[in-house]
Amino acid sequence: MSSGNRRVCLLTGAGGLLGDAFCRALYTAYDIVAVCGTRIPATPSQHEWFVDPFDPQGTVPENDSRVFLIRSDLTAPGEVDRVIDLALAKFGGVDLLVNNAASLRLHPQGIVDGDSAIDDFEPQFALNVGVPLRLSARLAQRGWMHDIDGNRARNRNIVNVSSLSGSNVYPGGQAVYAASKAALNHLTRHLAAEFAEFGVRANAVAPDSFPARVPTEKVLQAILELDTGAMTGGVYSVVAN
């Protein structure tokens, strides 16, 4: 179950740059269900227990971590339900869903150069749009719809990690990725509208390229501001200045 008053976060893409930063910054502040594929966040999890060799009976800060690591290909059949089953069994509920996992495959020669853009359409949309939809719907069905007072008391919400590509056209073969992020932006607005009746908010952050143009820490801060705020239905750009 949840550790006292800590918020419970279900985070996808936990092994990526932003996911790793989230876990490392917040592993003693949030209970985190960290969902990842081939890479794992560099934080203590249920797989590790730390002992100070100079004070074996002493308290070690790393053991305050409540990062519960789950390896998953969220696009595989049944995996969204398995992850939610494990998250609810471990912590009893989810206060913050961060849809951070994404697929980015560029087509620098354009969408008419062979079939690569066509072949990448379904995989990119499945992870970038389909997984946030499924996780949001299942969490609502399994808990949020039946706990209106709890949702409002704990300020439960969804933060989708989008991209400026979802609203701007950039060179470099981003057409399919950008279309998926545009769809995620509008899915966010619809989630906010439909989930308002049971008191769950939904927003998106749309960062410029990070860490090249925007520090990863600034994207992380934007997510935390959305978690603690009261806004809903917005898509917020994160740029350098």
Instruction: Please check whether residue 33 is in contact with residue 83, taking contact to mean a CB–CB distance below 8 angstroms.
Output: yes
* Residue 2 pLDDT: 61
Question: What kind and span of H or E run contains 26?
Answer: helix 17-26
What string of pLDDT tens digits covers the 241 residues of the chain? 666 679 999 999 999 999 999 999 999 899 999 999 999 999 888 887 788 888 888 888 777 778 999 999 999 999 999 999 999 999 999 999 999 999 999 999 999 888 999 999 999 999 999 999 999 999 999 999 999 999 999 999 999 999 999 999 999 999 999 999 999 999 999 999 999 999 999 999 999 999 999 999 999 999 999 999 999 999 999 998 7
133-158 tens-digit pLDDT: 999 999 999 999 999 999 999 999 99
Would you please indicate which residues are annotated as catalytic (active-site) residues?
Answer: 177
Tokens representing 202 are 């939904």
Minimal CA–CA distance to 21: which of 157, 169, 223, 162? 223
* Residue 62 pLDDT: 74
- Quote the Cα angle for 30-76-167, to 5°: 70
Domains parsed from the chain with CATH numbers: 7-52+61-238 (3.40.50.720)
DSSP letters, 44-62, are --TT-----TTSTTS--GG
199-232 tens-digit pLDDT: 999 999 999 999 999 999 999 999 999 999 999 9
* Residue 29 pLDDT: 92
